[in-house]
């Protein structure tokens, strides 16, 4: 994942290397998702509207879901790794208002962080500060298989 130069906390080298393999040259790169802030209590990331629109010129709801799952999975990884790995279990998105230009910013905060599951709320806003989507991601935290 690419940090945009914002001075957030960075994951430890092992976690960063594992997480980089999840997203390098994958969907998040193709969509232009960037992680701006890494902190166990708050993950912040963005997605551009341009290139991620549906046919009517609005940010695709799936793009909002991908941003939400990316931020929530990152938060779950920071919480659980290196002993456990997060696996998405449930993603729920409520789309409130359409974004038509600029970037959408997501802010992910923990709701529950246990040994077996972790849940996060991800609030997405457009550049005018209007909430475009509220998402909740729950991840199953599996024990890391032996290397």
CA distances from 127 to 38, 102, 120 (A): 20, 7, 22
How far apart are the C-alpha atoms of 45 and 4, rounded to whole Å? 9
Catalytic residue chosen out of the listed positions 69, 90, 101, 103 = 69
Return d(Cα 37, Cα 39) in angstroms, integer. 6
The answer to whether residue 45 is domain-embedded is yes
User: Does 67 map to a domain?
Assistant: yes
- The mean pLDDT values, 10 residues at a time, for the chain of 147 residues are 44 61 72 91 97 96 97 93 92 97 98 97 98 98 85
Q: How many CB atoms lie within 10 A of CB 122?
A: 26
Q: Which strand (E) or helix (H) includes residue 13? A: helix 13-23
Count of structural domains within the chain: 1
| pLDDT score for 58 | 97
For residue 113, the enclosing domain spans 13-143
Asked if residue 23 lies in contact with residue 29, where contact means CB atoms within 8 angstroms, the answer is: yes
| pTM as predicted | 0.84
Tell me the HSE value of 137 on the side-chain side, using a 13 A CA sphere. Answer: 29
Residue 5 lies in a domain: no
Q: Is 69 a catalytic residue?
A: yes
Determine the pLDDT at residue 55.
94
Residue 64: inside a domain, yes or no?
yes
**pLDDT at residue 40, as a whole number:** 84
DSSP calls for 58-70: SBPHHHHHHHHHH
pLDDT for 26 equals 83
Q: What is the pLDDT of residue 6?
A: 40
Q: Is residue 22 part of a domain?
A: yes
Output the six-digit token pair for 71: 């931020």
Residue 134 counted as domain residue: yes
CATH number at residue 108: 3.10.129.10
Cα gap 13→72, rounded to integer Å: 20
In a domain, 4, yes or no: no
């Amino acid at each position: 994942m690419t940090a945009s130069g914002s001075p957030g906390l960075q994951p430890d080298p092992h976690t960063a290397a594992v997480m980089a393999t999840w997203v390098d040259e994958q969907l998040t790169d193709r969509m232009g998702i960037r992680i701006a802030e890494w902190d166990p209590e708050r993950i912040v990331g963005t997605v551009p509207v341009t290139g991620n629109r549906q046919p009517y010129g609005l940010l695709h709801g799936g793009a909002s879901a991908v941003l939400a799952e990316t931020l929530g999975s990152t938060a779950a990884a920071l919480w659980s790794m290196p002993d456990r790995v997060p696996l998405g279990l449930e993603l729920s998105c409520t789309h409130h208002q359409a974004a038509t230009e600029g970037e959408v910013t997501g802010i992910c905060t923990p709701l529950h962080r246990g040994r077996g599951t972790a849940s996060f709320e991800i609030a997405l806003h457009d550049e005018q500060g209007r909430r475009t989507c509220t998402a909740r991601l729950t991840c199953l935290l599996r024990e890391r298989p032996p290397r």
